[in-house]
Structure 1
Amino acid sequence: MKNLSVIFPIAASIAAFVLVLLALLAGQNPGFMEDYDVISFNTSALGKNLVLNAAKDDEPTPTGGGFCSDLPGFLGKGCATATAAIGSIESAIVSEVNDIANDIADHLSAELGIHQFYSLHALSICEGSFSPNATANGATRNVTRCIKGATEGYNISAIIDHQLQIGPFELGIDDLGFDDELQSAMDTLNSAIKAFVILLSISVALTGLSLLTSIAGFIRYTRPVLIVNVVIASLAFIMLLACSLVITIGARKAATEVTEKGDDIGLYATAGSKYTAITWAAVGLMFVTFAYWLWQVIRFKNGKTDLHRQTKRSPRDSEEAGAEKPNLHGIRFSKGRRSRR
């Protein structure tokens, strides 16, 4: 009877393979696992610094009231009252201008000819707008297009720059305040994404191979098959662990740096928590698979598996198996001569 416990690593390998495959294919088409992005960029307020700077330039010049104290009697009191009234009007105007600027900043992406968000996946970059709007609580994403990041590159700044240049104002990211430090953070993210995709692709292959060898271990439960399973499962586990570390550390670091350096121009980034969750879940499942096969190799070596016991026979069993069979028809053999009772 086959060792039915082998079904356990087969199930774990299937689950791990499905998770890493989804991690690789997420975002391939608009709406397919859009929430499972490596990192997303909110560009709905990109260029707000231009609007706010223009609003500051149009602010009324505060009216000075220091000379009122130099006036005698009721003239000084009247001057102070008038100055306070004018200052109140100026404050209201400034507040209204800032509110208008903030409202305009929420719709800047459409005016500039860019999208409100860009989400990076393993093999693609998706872009679109927020619904009902970018500043609403619980706003959802409406994806309009996904491009192949693996072939066209993961450089978000280049994509935004291109869309700005063909937009109505023919601007560039330099015009919005994209400095060298911000671009350096984007370049670091690009390198991390490329390394991650290579490791993830290898992980998909090794996890699928581990599934096949686990099935082979169920069909033929021998020591060489067990050793092969340990080797393949350990390689898949190590590769998945490297994947998860690269994308978890790299995406979070890049998101923090981009948000810090891009706050002034309205560029924000968020690392995908759901994406890292499925990659780490795959790591855990593959570790379980590796641990199981390692345990089976150790048990097989010590002769503790049921199947191994069945294949080992004791000398006493051999003697009993080779004992003299009963003679048929009363025939017995003695020194090469046959006699009948």
Structure 2
Amino acid sequence: MRPIAVIPLVFSIVAFVLSILCLFAGTKPGYMEEYHIITVNTSGLGQNLFKQSAAPSATTPACTKPTSLGSLISGAKDCVEGAASNAVDEIQNIANEVAGDIVDKLSQKIGIKQFYSLHLMNRCEGNYKPNATDPSASKNVTKCSNQTAMYHFDITTPLNAELAKGPLNLTLEKLHFPDDIQDGLDGLSVGLNAIFVFYAIGIASSGIVILLCPLYFFFGLPMLTLLNSCLASLSFTALIISSAIVTVVQKKAAGFINKYGGKVGIEAYPGGKYLALTWSSVAFMGVASIVCAIDYTALKRRKRRELSEKGEHGRC
């Protein structure tokens, strides 16, 4: 028996489950939506008049107790300025709240959803709650597209379709939506397809490792150990390639969407949780492949030593 086979078995199971989650995350509304590859925030589309800039707050002058006529005049001036500054801050806070409400109402008025998230096999869409400008806003997914292998992320088609249904009968062209955004996404389609292929290879290989580990545990044959080691290494290699491509795709997609979309109120952000999930699967499968390789090497050396000892006894 080879008790060490338990280690690659456990780690392969974990890697297998994590890889499956990477493949099927976000395939239906509310299912692992936070594990998106990238999300495009479209809540600002069409409301450039309501851009908000963060300005440094001025120090409010303090009211001091007067000690002379001059200090009395100066103190009165500081108190008036302080009151005016506080009033301006209060008005700004109210304006920010109103602007957040305007963003929500405007996106509803023109008929678009406030975000579109890319998952490996589909796209989800919905609105932010309580509103799009709230720093702690959460996603309310209203719809997800059908699962499709090698899914291609198209942002312009759903936006145009929803704008056409809206009461204002707008188009992306009228909103000056940059073609560079969809062109960039089209250019990344090869990478998105490769991600799916390598995930499939990694999942299939780790699945076979899981099936072979019981035989590996009870019999420990060199050829069986070698096969397990090769499959574990194949799974590890496939998962590390898919994870690397995901990392690059996230960075590039967010980069050009923010570069060209900022002018029309669109921004994108990559999914950090998805990266953590996919690289975790790489780590677990890496441990499994290393253990398999070490055990195969040890088993091979033991067989050679046994053959050598038999040869020496034979000569005697």
Give TM-score, length-normalised by structure 2: 0.78
Distance across 2 between alignment mates of 1:146 and 1:228: 40
Matched residue count: 273
8 A Cα contact 2:123 2:144, kept in partner? yes
8 A Cα contact 1:233 1:289, kept in partner? yes
Aligned to 1:65: none
Distance across 2 between alignment mates of 1:108 and 1:292: 57
1:94-123 CA distance string (max 9 Å, x none): x9xx97777533432211111111111111
Aligned to 1:114: 112
SS of 1:302's equivalent in the other structure is helix
- 2:43 corresponds to 1:44: yes
Aligned to 2:138: 140
SS of 2:167's equivalent in the other structure is coil
Aligned to 2:210: 211
Distance across 2 between alignment mates of 1:189 and 1:176: 24
SS of 2:140's equivalent in the other structure is strand
1:105-164 CA distance string (max 9 Å, x none): 343221111111111111121111111111112111111111125277421222112211
- CA displacement at 1:228 relative to structure 2: 0.4
8 A Cα contact 1:177 1:265, kept in partner? yes
Residues 40 and 161 of structure 1, relative CA distance in 2, 3 Å threshold: same
Larger Rg: 1
8 A Cα contact 2:154 2:182, kept in partner? no
Distance across 2 between alignment mates of 1:231 and 1:315: 30
CA RMSD of aligned residues (A): 2.9
1:45-89 CA distance string (max 9 Å, x none): 11123x569xxxxxxxxxxxxxxxxxxxxxxxxxxxxxxxxxxxx
Aligned-residue sequence identity (percent) comes to: 34
Distance across 1 between alignment mates of 2:189 and 2:164: 22
- 2:268 corresponds to 1:272: no
Whose relative contact order is higher, 1 or 2, with alpha carbons under 8 Å and at least 6 apart?
2
- 2:8 corresponds to 1:19: no
Aligned to 1:163: 162
Residues 167 and 195 of structure 1, relative CA distance in 2, 3 Å threshold: farther
Distance across 2 between alignment mates of 1:30 and 1:101: 28
Distance across 2 between alignment mates of 1:275 and 1:124: 15
- CA displacement at 1:315 relative to structure 2: 7.8
- 2:183 corresponds to 1:184: yes
* Structure 2: gaps spanning 5 or more residues: 52-91
